[in-house]
Structure formats: structure tokens, C-alpha cells
Amino acid sequence: MGSIGLVLSLIALSECAKAPGALNNAVPDVVDFNFHVKPILSDRCFKCHGPDAQKREANLRLDTKEGLFQHLKDAKNQFVIVPGKPEQSELYRRLVHEDPEQLMPPPNSNLSLNENEKQILRKWIAQGAKYRKHWAFIPPQKTTLPKVRLSDWPKNEIDHFTLAKMEANGLKPNEQAEWPKLIRRLSLDLTGLPPSDDLLKRYLNNTSPNAYKKLVEELLASPRFGERMAAYWLDIARYADSHGYQDDGPRTMWPWRDWVIHAFNKNIPYDKFVTWQLAGDLLPKANKEQILATGFNRNHKITQEGGVIDEEYRVEYVTDRTNTFGKAFLGLTLECSKCHDHKYDPISQKEYFQVFSFFNNVPEKGLYGVIDLVSLGDPPNMILYDKTIKDTLPFINKKKGDTAIVMIMQDMPKPRTTYILKRGQYDLHGDSVKQGTPKSVMAFGNQYDPNRLGLAKWLFEAKNPLTARVFVNRIWMEIFGMGIVKSSDDFGNQGELPTHPELLDWLAVDFRENGWDVKRLVRQILLSATYQQSNKIDAKKREKDFDNRLLARGPRLRMSAEMLRDNWLASSGLMNHEIGGPSVKPYQPEGLWEDTNPGRGPLMFYKQDRLQKLYRRSLYTFWKRTAPPPFMLTFDAPMRDYCVAKRVMTNTPLQALNMLNDPQMLEAARFLAANLLKEGTNPETQIKKVFLRIMAREPLEKELKELSQYYQIRYQELAKDRKKAEKLLAIGEIPQAKGVDMAKCAALSETIQIVYNLDEAITR
């Protein structure tokens, strides 16, 4: 499709996408193939009439243009679709057929179309049945900025797209959020931490027009930015500190994690960031840092279960790398084409194994190490000596003498032959295949070397339709809580459609044209008026746009697991700000590892760390795959068994129990209370400070009054029962401050616990 075609299709999209597809039940005026028709065909028809050649019924396929307009196999003068004539189109006739033998989908498939969906298909045919390639496989292009009525609202390009959409839906943007709230929002989004006292002091009263921009720059330059971004990349990379599977011994991949933090802080462009992780070892004159980065593809689970069949597991690891490549970088469910052709997307089983072949040449075994303290990293690996670190990898936080073995990628001199594995089974070899990629996305031409480095080049080719879109969508999701494509891990036929397709494409192209500059992309989003809106929800917006898909208000999101715990540590002053290093074992309820361990190995018992190691940021918490940190799981972190690009968000009573009774929260509260008391001020001033520390604002009059009252009542009770006060404060390892009134401290500590548990305090 030429650029004119694309522009036209985008105009059609914006016309028809007046309300996000899923919310809109009306048959649109102009029916668009990509936005209205194909989701129905894909979901209800492709399973039997789609890309999977083995399961195709009646030799009819509805996933290609040819298939949709062909004549019937047994009747040359009858066609699947006759443009303009629904009643003569076999497709429509079968949808409304009265004979159950003829009706499609067949009743025994448990699939059906509702009346609305039938009308959409009918109208599309009646309007001429215009076919378009799957939107995500058409390379993105910048369109001109849409015209808006509220022309002084936009602060940058992003706002033109969002505002046009709001206006088309009869919504107005919210006002700008109050300055303290913006300071807190920026700090949390960019560093994962609440604003420090110092930052608040410098910015709260700074009313210069440049203050916002200046703050964004300061936070982007903070080393905390790298930690915040890394926390998210670790889910994609299925990073863990243990091997997984049943024996689940320890590994030391943390120097790779230190590199990720470093890479985000140094703002290594996204193309390099990914190329090094995929193929750093294959770069000409590859340096140690580039090789270290390839640890990405060795973060998968590795079995140590005696008795497994070696090849079965080796194939499992290659499978994991292949699936991760699909999900992490292309936003595709490649895994669905391992056992058969993809049921919904144009990806054949052969193409799956062509991608598989890139990752199939590692000199590795299915079962190598056993469960002990030596098998920290199966070969190929890189042993990190003190000298290497000092000379070339100074960002790795390794203490002298500590062991660190990082598993890395390498290709065998003589590559393995890759076969299509029938039904996906490791020992059922079909035809052999050469390296390649799904051609519907973009063919793997001769210009690329047939190895991982060639694959990385293919990924960052300007014409690759997915790479930039997938990443900008992820960053958008991290900031707004939901991607422009909500299914940020599936850009295929069964994925959701973008709510703002032109915006997504504009951002994607702009990102690529500007050197894949990650900080620039983040900055761009934060400088938009869209981001700076207040997150208040009035009745109209709640009614019209419950999930904020139209972005007529600012984001309001419960913090991630990591942020929640980090906020206790940072706001109380307990946090140890050290970056990187071996993972640590903070407080954890007793017996969790012991309850489930295999009865052997170095990770049988949880040996909690002491002192400063307790107060490290949450991304440094030791991740044992078969018993992950309970706090993380309770607050929706994935298991790290495989690549996850999108966390769910739940709300359970177990979370409330955790928030109320976690010793880390209780310790933070008492520590902060003691420090405030030492300042010798009155309770009201102390409560004001608590609000500033935790929520970056002063309490409202009513809030202050209620909490002061609460404090006074508690103080009077505890002053009469000092033993009880002491008991309440006896939590955590940090020593109790001397010379502080225990009753006051316990009462203030409880008041702080209340604040830590407020909806506002756990929301960013």
C-alpha cells in the first residue's frame, strides 16, 4: 500500500474510531476492514478458515484478500464475497442461514455472531468490501497533526491527537493537575520513588514557567531512572536469581541486571540496547559489555532435575528464546505457531522454526549442572573477575572475592540443523529449515546475515512495521497504565486495536527518526498536556469513558509492587540507595521456602539478610522462581517463569493484610515517627511532614483535624500503658531511637501507618 492509501486508511480509522471499538455497539457509518470486520472474522472464522493450512476446512481461507474474493470450490460462478452485494455473497448467506447444517460458524463450534456483528459484515460488503492488510503489518508513517478546536491546549504533538479524539467524542480535557501532585507523579513515574524533602523544597515554591521542564530533566538524569526502567525490563527478560523447575538452585545473573540499569541511565539507544542483548557476541570486535548484555537470552528457566531427557529441555530453552523474541520485540504470539500454523496470524509453523533456528546454535545442554553452589551458570558463560570489572565493567557492583558467573550467548562454529518439529515435539523431526522471519511482517532478505546479528538488523530496519510501535506502546503503558494498543503483548489479528492509531504511528516514526532515544521518548510524553491533566473523574467521564481510553484525564494507577515497598523505605528515610549487586533477602514471612523446597540444595531455607541489606530497593530482592517474594506476587508481579510484557492489576483482601501488617511498613512507620519526634515539634507539624513525605502535599484541614484527634486519643491510651507502646514499636531490626517518648512514638507510628494505607498514598 502506498502512502496515500495509508493516509486514507488512517482517516477512515479516525472516522470510525470515534469511540474505542469495544465500547461502541452501533454499526458504524463507514465500516472499516481492519477496525470492524477483521476482528470478527479472526475471532470466529480463522480457526477453521485461517492461516493454519492443516486445519483449513473446505479449502476456504478468509485471512487473505485472495481467499475473501475467490469463487467457491464447487461453484465457479459463486463467490465468497461479491462487493456491494451481501445477499449474493456466500460468506454473508452462511452467517444468516436458517439450516443449521449450512449455518456458519457451525453450532457445535461453540462460536456465534451476534446481530450487530452480522450487520457489520453485511454493511461492509454493501459498501464495497474494501480489503486492507492487517494494520500492524503496514509500516507506520507520520500523518499531519489533526485539527483541534481548543487550539491553545496542546503543548506538543501528542496533544493534537488526543484532543482531536476527545472532541470527536464530546469530551474536554481536564485542567492541569495541581503542582504538588505533578511533582509527585513525575517523581514516581521517572524514579519509582516519592519526591525527596530536598526536591520538594526546591520545586514546591518554584513558580517559574520552566520549573516543570527542569524537574523532568533532573529526574531523567537521576540514577534512579535506570532502576525504575529496569524493574519493568526484568519482567520481559524473565530475570530471576534461581534456575527454576523443581530443584531451583541459585544462579548469578545479577551483573546482567546491573547492566540493564546502567544502559537505561546512559540512555543507550533502543536499537543498540536490543541488538546487544540479542547479538552482542556477534558484533565485530565485541567488547565485554556487549557480550554481557546477551545474558538476556539465558535468563530462561534451566532444569537441574536428574533424569530429564537432555534434548527435550534444550529444545525447551530454544523455544523460550523464540517466544520471548516474538513477545518482547514484535508483540506477537509466535508461540502459537510452534505445534501448527498460527490459527489467527499469518505465521506458519515453518516460519516459527525459521526464527527458532537463530537461537538454536548455543553450545548448551538440556541438563548440565546439578543443584549446588557451583552450578551458578551453565556454559557458555562469562566469569566476572575483579580485574575485568575494574577495567571494563565498572557499573557492576561486585564486592571483591564474590563469585559472579553470567550465562551468555554464543554460536557453535558448526551450526545445528534446525528441523520443523512436528506437533512441536522435540524428537519428531520434519523438514529442515533455514533462518528466516514471518514474511507477512517483513521478509528476511539476503542483505541480512543468517544469524542473530542479522535478525537484530532486520528488527531495526526502518520498514519493520512492529519494532518501534511495540516499544513506544510499552512506554506509554508504563506511564498511562494502558497502552494505545491495550494488548501490548499482542499486535496480531486477535490483539486489540489502537485507540489512537495515528498517535501510535507518529510516536513510532518519531522515535525511530530520532535515533531510538528512550529518554527523549519519555520526555516527550511527560511534556504533553495530556499527561499533565488532573486525574479527577466527573460523572460524564465515568459514564462515557470508564477506563480512560480517551485520555481526557490524567493517569491514576495503583503503584507496582516494587514502588509500594520502595515508598515505605524512601519516605521513612530507611532506604539504602546502593545501586546493583547481588540480590538481597529482606523480611519475609517464615517458612515460605521451607514449605515447598525439594529437600535439598542451597535454597532450601530462606536466610534473611541483616542491617543495610534489608533496605535495598525492591528490584534487588532475591527472586526464587518456585517461591517468589510473596509481596511481589500479592501485588501482581509475574512469576518470571517466562516473558511477561504486561502486568495485571488486581484488588484483593490479601493486599490489604499485607499493607497493614508487613513488618517493613511497620518498621518504616516507627522509624519515621521517631525521627519526627526528635525534631521536637508538635503533633500537627509532624502530621504535616508525614503528608509531605508520603504524598508530597500538606493535609487538608479536615484531614489534619481527624488525624490529630486520632493521634491524641492513641497517645492518651498508650501513655497509660507504656508496655503496650513498647510492644507495638518492637518491630524490625533498626534500633529504637534513644530519648524518644515511647507512647508518643507509638501513637505517631500508628498515625503514619494510616497514611501509608491510604488510597492516595498507594496511587501514582
Partner 1 sequence: MEKELLESKLNINRRAFFSKLSLGVGSLALGSLLIPDLFKNGDADLTEALPGLSHFAPKAKRIIYLFQSGAPSQLESLDYKPNLKKLLGTELPSSIRQGQRLTGMTSGQASFPIVGSAIGFKQYGQSGTWISDLFPYIGRVADDICVVRTLHTEAINHDPAITFFQTGNQQSGRPSMGAWLSYGLGSENQNLPAFMVLTSRGKGNSQGLYAHLWGSGFLNSIHQGVMLRGGKNPVLYLKDPEGMSQLDRRRMLDQIASLNQQTYDQIGDPETLARIQQYEMAYRMQTSVPELMDLNDENDATVKLYGPDCLVPGSYAANALLARRLAERGVRFIQLYHQGWDQHGNLPNEMAGQAKDVDQASAALITDLKQRGMLEDTLVIWGGEFGRTVFCQGNFNETNYGRDHHPRCFSIWMAGGGIKPGTVYGETDDFSYNIAKDPVHVHDFQATIMHLMGLNHEKLIFKHQGRRYRLTDVSGKIVPGIMA
Q: Which of residues 723-742 bind partner 1 (CB under 8 A)?
A: 724-725, 727-728, 730-731
d(CA 36, CA 500): 15
Of 330, 707, 742, 747, which one interacts with partner 1 (CB under 8 A)?
707
Q: Are 419 and 432 in contact (CB under 8 A)?
A: yes
| CA trace torsion 696, 700, 701, 707 (10° rounding) | -70
Per CB under 8 A, 370 contacts partner 1? no
Per CB under 8 A, 495 contacts partner 1? yes
Nearer to partner 1, 460 or 531 (CB): 531
Q: How far is the CB of 309 from partner 1 (least distance, A)?
A: 6
d(CA 675, CA 731): 16
Count of beta carbons in the 10 Å neighbourhood of residue 590: 10
d(CA 488, CA 526): 20
Residue 317: which of 642, 87, 561, 729 has the closest Cα?
A: 642
Per CB under 8 A, 703 contacts partner 1? yes
Nearer to partner 1, 10 or 728 (CB): 728
DSSP class per residue in 389-411? HHHT-TTS---TT---EEE----
Nearer to partner 1, 385 or 605 (CB): 605
In the block, cell 509500516 appears at 139
Q: How far is the CB of 394 from partner 1 (least distance, A)?
A: 36
Beta bridge partners of 429: 421
Q: Are 125 and 92 in contact (CB under 8 A)?
A: yes
Of 54, 77, 110, 205, which one interacts with partner 1 (CB under 8 A)?
110
Site for partner 1 in 33-52 (CB under 8 A): 42-43
Q: Are 239 and 640 in contact (CB under 8 A)?
A: yes
Nearer to partner 1, 287 or 650 (CB): 650
At residue 727's C-alpha, the angle toward residues 752 and 736, to 5°, is: 70
Nearer to partner 1, 273 or 344 (CB): 344
Per CB under 8 A, 246 contacts partner 1? yes
Nearer to partner 1, 228 or 553 (CB): 553
Nearer to partner 1, 191 or 588 (CB): 588
Nearer to partner 1, 443 or 730 (CB): 730
Contact stretch for partner 1 (CB under 8 A) within 162-170, 190-198, 244-252, 431-439: 244-252
Q: How far is the CB of 760 from partner 1 (least distance, A)?
A: 5
Per CB under 8 A, 754 contacts partner 1? yes
Nearer to partner 1, 284 or 599 (CB): 599
- 586: amino acid identity, one letter: P
The DSSP symbol for 221 reads H
Nearer to partner 1, 224 or 340 (CB): 340
Per CB under 8 A, 247 contacts partner 1? yes
Site for partner 1 in 331-350 (CB under 8 A): 333, 336, 343-344
Site for partner 1 in 457-486 (CB under 8 A): none
Q: How far is the CB of 565 from partner 1 (least distance, A)?
A: 13
Helices (H), 18-156: 38-44, 46-49, 65-69, 90-95, 115-126
Nearer to partner 1, 271 or 490 (CB): 490
Contact stretch for partner 1 (CB under 8 A) within 165-173, 396-404, 515-523, 633-641: 633-641
Per CB under 8 A, 82 contacts partner 1? no
3-state DSSP: the chain helix, strand, coil percent, rounded to 5?
50, 5, 50
Between helix 742-756 and helix 722-729 the angle, nearest 10°, is 50
Q: How far is the CB of 320 from partner 1 (least distance, A)?
A: 9
Site for partner 1 in 519-578 (CB under 8 A): 535-539, 542-543, 546, 556, 558
Of 30, 72, 111, 204, which one interacts with partner 1 (CB under 8 A)?
111
Of 399, 463, 702, 738, which one interacts with partner 1 (CB under 8 A)?
702
Of 2, 209, 599, 735, which one interacts with partner 1 (CB under 8 A)?
599
Q: How far is the CB of 119 from partner 1 (least distance, A)?
A: 19
In the block, cell 452467517 appears at 95
Per CB under 8 A, 704 contacts partner 1? no
Those residues with Cβ within 8 angstroms of residue 467's Cβ, 6 or more apart along the chain or in another chain = 329, 330, 459, 460
Site size toward partner 1, by CB under 8 A = 92
Q: Are 120 and 36 in contact (CB under 8 A)?
A: yes
Residue 105: is the preceding peptide bond cis (ω within 30°)? yes
- The backbone torsions φ and ψ at residue 418, rounded to the nearest 5 degrees and listed phi first, read -100, 130
Pairing of strands 71-72, 75-79: antiparallel
Site for partner 1 in 171-200 (CB under 8 A): none
Site for partner 1 in 634-693 (CB under 8 A): 634, 636, 639, 641-642, 648, 650-658, 660-662, 666
| CA trace torsion 215, 218, 224, 226 (10° rounding) | 110
Of 21, 50, 438, 628, which one interacts with partner 1 (CB under 8 A)?
628
Which secondary-structure segment (H or E) carries 432?
A: strand 429-433
Per CB under 8 A, 598 contacts partner 1? yes
Q: How far is the CB of 429 from partner 1 (least distance, A)?
A: 16
Q: How far is the CB of 478 from partner 1 (least distance, A)?
A: 19
- 202: amino acid identity, one letter: R
- 468: amino acid identity, one letter: A
d(CA 266, CA 236): 20
Of 403, 423, 589, 705, which one interacts with partner 1 (CB under 8 A)?
589
Residue 711: which of 747, 657, 664 has the closest Cα?
A: 747
Per CB under 8 A, 367 contacts partner 1? yes
Between helix 270-279 and helix 452-459 the angle, nearest 10°, is 160
The DSSP symbol for 527 reads T
Site for partner 1 in 295-324 (CB under 8 A): 303, 305-310, 316
d(CA 469, CA 462): 12
Tell me the per-residue interface mask from 135 to 174 with partner 1, x by CB under 8 A, - otherwise.
Answer: ----------------------------------------
